[in-house]
């Protein structure tokens, strides 16, 4: 299986609308079991209270290669991923658009946030119990994973969001495409942090900026 750099990069944060068709769910979703429903309510409450955060991330691509960087979260709507050198990649959501910048190649690509699974937990009102198909709630080794996709099919992807169970803490997510390729993101030492100015999440065209500022 050949996975392009674009597939790998976008898999970190989103399922691009330009990808091949994503796996669909056959028929209406089954009702959640009572224990699953209780965990979904806990997760919604946790995500709703999640505002400013910072941590390290480790990304694993479909071929098993690892890359690392720093992740910034500022709900609602904003997130940023700064890859460690020698990579020149930066991914950021400004609340409306997800931009992918390669500073070494001096390229920029942009995608509507609403067309990405990342929108599921950057929304102002977290409602993964409405308008979203929850196909599974998985519990393994002190971790809870919720597998969800957009019930209205605006976001053509599937995302599995994982949490430590006690205390409930976001630990990462995985995006799977119709070919079965999975990109996983694991968060390390993710914790509350001071907020950034909105401009921090608005990436400039690298062709127009000589030396982009490094993140604090």
CATH classification of the domain holding 79: 2.50.20.10
Residue 147: name the closest of 158, 156, 157, 131 by CA. 158
Is pLDDT above 50 for 25?
no
Q: What are the DSSP calls for 45-76, one per residue? A: HHHHH--EEEEEEEEE-TTS-EEEEEEEEETT
Which has the higher per-residue pLDDT, 157 or 9?
157
Q: In this prediction, what percent of the chain has a pLDDT beyond 90?
A: 29
pTM score of the predicted model:
0.76
Q: In this prediction, what percent of the chain has a pLDDT beyond 70?
A: 72
Is residue 61 one of the residues assigned to a domain? yes
Domain count, the chain: 1
Q: What is the pLDDT of residue 134?
A: 82
Is pLDDT above 70 for 193?
yes
Is residue 206 one of the residues assigned to a domain? no
pLDDT tens digits along 122-143:
888 776 555 567 888 999 989 9
Q: What is the pLDDT of residue 29?
A: 55
Instruction: Work out the average pLDDT over 180-196.
Output: 88
Is residue 107 one of the residues assigned to a domain? yes
Q: What is the pLDDT of residue 187?
A: 93
Interior/surface letters 9-48, b for 16+ CB within 10 angstroms, e for the rest? bbbbbbbbeebeebeeeeeeeeeeeeebeebbeebbeebb
Is pLDDT above 60 for 13?
no
Average pLDDT across the chain, whole number: 78
Decide: 104 and 115 in contact? Cβ < 8 Å: no
Decide: 23 and 176 in contact? Cβ < 8 Å: yes
Q: What is the pLDDT of residue 144?
A: 95
Q: What is the pLDDT of residue 133?
A: 76
Which has the higher per-residue pLDDT, 215 or 112?
112
Is residue 127 one of the residues assigned to a domain? yes
Q: What is the domain range of residue 110? A: 5-15+32-201
Is residue 214 one of the residues assigned to a domain? no
16 — pLDDT class (breaks 50, 70, 90)? very low
Q: What is the pLDDT of residue 215?
A: 58
pLDDT tens digits along 69-104:
999 999 889 999 999 998 889 999 999 999 999 988
Find the range with the poorest average confidence among 44-48, 131-135, 154-158, 188-192. 154-158
Q: What is the pLDDT of residue 147?
A: 86
Q: What is the pLDDT of residue 6?
A: 44
């Amino acid at each position: 299986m050949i996975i392009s750099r674009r597939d790998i990069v976008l898999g970190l944060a989103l399922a691009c609308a330009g990808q091949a068709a994503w796996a669909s769910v056959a028929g209406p979703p089954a009702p959640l079991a009572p224990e699953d429903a209780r965990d979904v309510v806990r997760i919604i409450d946790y995500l709703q209270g999640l505002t400013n955060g910072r941590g390290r991330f480790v990304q694993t691509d479909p071929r098993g290669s690892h890359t690392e960087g720093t992740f910034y979260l500022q709900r609602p709507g904003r997130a940023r991923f700064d890859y460690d050198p020698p990579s020149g990649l930066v991914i950021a959501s400004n609340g409306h658009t997800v931009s992918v910048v390669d500073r070494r190649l001096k390229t920029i690509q942009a995608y509507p946030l609403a067309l990405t699974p990342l929108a599921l937990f950057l929304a102002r009102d977290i409602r993964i119990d409405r308008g979203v198909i929850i196909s599974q709630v998985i519990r393994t080794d002190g971790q809870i994973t919720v597998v969800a996709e957009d019930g209205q099919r605006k976001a053509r992807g599937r995302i599995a969001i994982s949490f430590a169970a006690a205390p409930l803490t976001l630990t990462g997510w995985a995006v799977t495409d119709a070919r079965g390729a999975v990109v996983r993101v694991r968060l390390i030492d993710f914790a509350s942090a001071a907020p950034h100015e909105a401009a921090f999440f608005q990436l400039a065209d690298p062709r127009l900026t000589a030396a982009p500022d490094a993140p604090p």
